[in-house]
Structure 1
């Protein structure tokens, strides 16, 4: 008759249970951020604003000294420009490029479509300072829709510099290195087009990632992002904003903006 050893099964069960717990702990330890990271090229103006700065009440109705505008990217697809024009939108910016690896497949419909209904339009570049130099990205931008012409309907290109949607907020750069990267982009853009680019940013990002550098304010118009009833504190150096992205949930397309001046001032910026 075989002898039953009561203690021989329990250690084996305990061992198997331990293996399962160890495997489970490894699965749980894998960060979720990889799955949450958006695909390269999908970035757009203001995608980090609500998450980092929050949202508040919309500003009151614009007066005659402000001019409504929108910004669009591939997220909007083919845009109903005539609807926007009829609603009072008079200017628009279209995402042209990101880094040196992406061009907006809807760029022609968006950039030319806004122009064709009578809007003053411009192009913007989503900066990725951790991939290539500022000069390289400025050249890529100009070569893929970001140029400028003195036709009275084309705004200078805009540099969208904000939170990194793909990794570290400041792209792994120190404040001084970030300032150098931005300067490299701006200098190259001006050399290629003759125009000073617009800088799109948020005050909190600018403070954290450039050390609140004020040296670009004399030449580069400020496009501030803040989803609230007022623009709040501006980055160092700028005493006023030129454009303000005030919401990502506006009518027809999400991102709505106000130009800090009447339509003739928008024309003036287009003409340089």
Structure 2
């Protein structure tokens, strides 16, 4: 009998975001995907969500893994576990999936390494994921897997490569039988000569598509801004919430520093009860709160925690669902560039919305010479309300007030030059310097000046008009 294979992918395999990647490997006997989610408390795989979705589309069972850096420190292990949980939830790793602790640091003492691993695995287990421990067979003296398994129930995913050459199947003569609880063996980092990690699933832990009864789940549905208020909404229900009558939403940094908490009232979510009928309390699991947007949040990715607890202050015995709020977002569009002949102006309009505009309240526009790499002119922009932008980007701070217009001085010397418009928010009202955030729009060639030769006649039909002499014999016409 041929056992199923599993591939593990990371940011080094961006192509794993595409269906055909997994379709090709499926023909070679691969039935599972293990996607790198995170590392320590500072890195998230930028392709993770796409890799998970693509593997699921091709019928793979999907798991996730976290590359650890906690070196035998149990408190740091718990912080990394919470980081991994938040990442898994935000990337759409299904409830109840395997979440692997990837332990590869060849440092520390066996006892402390073992206890830190146990702390990590029990934390992800409490969050509703299935814990698995991964390491190399040559590191077995740095941890006690039998103790890890006894205290967490985790299976072992072990790595041992008989050869570094390309292989198409495992050589079982080299199987590293160091435990009775080995669930999978990573036998190559060069499967089919394509320099990708492959494992054989011995127990179905990474490939068996049995339907598990889901008794805990949640989701961060939306984050939106109204002025300086940040509204957070979603749902969380769990069989572990029984007897925990105080619901909270808590915001923390990724390292666990608390920024704010609100005791909330849960509301009806009939959609959750319909989708997850086995989760107790799903029909009344909605969470919602408004937090003030503060300087401490700007430019960060925060953890949002939906919590049930038996403590009125929000501590005590609790069960959590954790996800990620991204406050590093920006979006912009340069909608129009037009020359205004009678005033020799270059008129620009568009919008720029960014989470970084908090405390940078003054909008500026800069005209930049691309080839000379120098600023040509800087003006204060005229703000314009943009309800259309707010509708598309409600999760970006002050999107409603992101519109701008402005007019630069313009002459024939700029025609055909490669120019660039920079939109800026600054805390310096007068000069637009000091703390600021910029958006550089795509370069363009300076447009031609409209030609008025005093000879050519143009006739148009209008309902009404008025004429006013402006300067140098030119007349401004306004008509309807």
Write out per-residue CA displacement over residues 194-225 of structure 1, whole angstroms, 9 at most, x where no aligned residue: x4411111222121x12x45212341111110
Write out per-residue CA displacement over residues 136-178 of structure 1, whole angstroms, 9 at most, x where no aligned residue: 011000100268645xxx631111112x3xxxx21xx222111
Looking at structure 2, the residues matched to 271 and 250 of structure 1 have their Cα atoms a distance apart, in angstroms, of 34
Moved over 6 A (4+): 262-265, 269-272
Looking at structure 2, the residues matched to 121 and 264 of structure 1 have their Cα atoms a distance apart, in angstroms, of 7
With the length of structure 2 as denominator, give the TM-score of the two structures: 0.37
Write out per-residue CA displacement over residues 98-122 of structure 1, whole angstroms, 9 at most, x where no aligned residue: 0000000111221111011111011
Looking at structure 1, the residues matched to 101 and 84 of structure 2 have their Cα atoms a distance apart, in angstroms, of 10
Residue ranges of structure 1 left out of the alignment (5+ in a row): 1-62
Write out per-residue CA displacement over residues 67-124 of structure 1, whole angstroms, 9 at most, x where no aligned residue: 1110011111222122112222110100000000000011122111101111101110
Looking at structure 1, the residues matched to 50 and 87 of structure 2 have their Cα atoms a distance apart, in angstroms, of 14
Which residue of structure 2 lines up, in the alignment, with residue 136 of structure 1? 79
Looking at structure 2, the residues matched to 94 and 260 of structure 1 have their Cα atoms a distance apart, in angstroms, of 19
Distance 1:89 1:202, change over 3 A: same
With the length of structure 1 as denominator, give the TM-score of the two structures: 0.64
Counterpart pick for 2:120 among 173, 180, 185: 185
Counterpart pick for 1:96 among 4, 15, 37: 37
Counterpart pick for 2:101 among 147, 151, 159: 159
Looking at structure 2, the residues matched to 269 and 202 of structure 1 have their Cα atoms a distance apart, in angstroms, of 30
Looking at structure 1, the residues matched to 37 and 127 of structure 2 have their Cα atoms a distance apart, in angstroms, of 16
SS at match of 1:140: helix
Residue ranges of structure 2 left out of the alignment (5+ in a row): 163-170, 215-480
2:196 counterpart of 1:254: yes
Contact conserved, 2:63 with 2:206, CA < 8 A, in 1? no
CA RMSD of aligned residues (A): 2.7
How far apart are residue 248 of structure 1 and its match? Answer: 0.4
Contact conserved, 2:6 with 2:206, CA < 8 A, in 1? no
Larger-Rg structure: 2
More strand by share: 2
Distance 1:91 1:264, change over 3 A: closer
SS at match of 1:74: coil
Distance 1:270 1:88, change over 3 A: farther
Contact conserved, 2:36 with 2:45, CA < 8 A, in 1? yes
| Between 225-234 and 97-106, the greater mean CA deviation after superposition | 225-234
Which structure is higher in RCO with an 8 Å CA cutoff and minimum separation 6?
1
Which residue of structure 2 lines up, in the alignment, with residue 199 of structure 1? 133
Write out per-residue CA displacement over residues 46-69 of structure 1, whole angstroms, 9 at most, x where no aligned residue: xxxxxxxxxxxxxxxxx33x1111
Which residue of structure 2 lines up, in the alignment, with residue 75 of structure 1? 12
Distance 1:186 1:240, change over 3 A: closer
Distance 1:177 1:253, change over 3 A: same
Looking at structure 2, the residues matched to 214 and 148 of structure 1 have their Cα atoms a distance apart, in angstroms, of 28
Distance 1:267 1:87, change over 3 A: same
How far apart are residue 270 of structure 1 and its match? Answer: 6.6
Looking at structure 2, the residues matched to 75 and 221 of structure 1 have their Cα atoms a distance apart, in angstroms, of 26
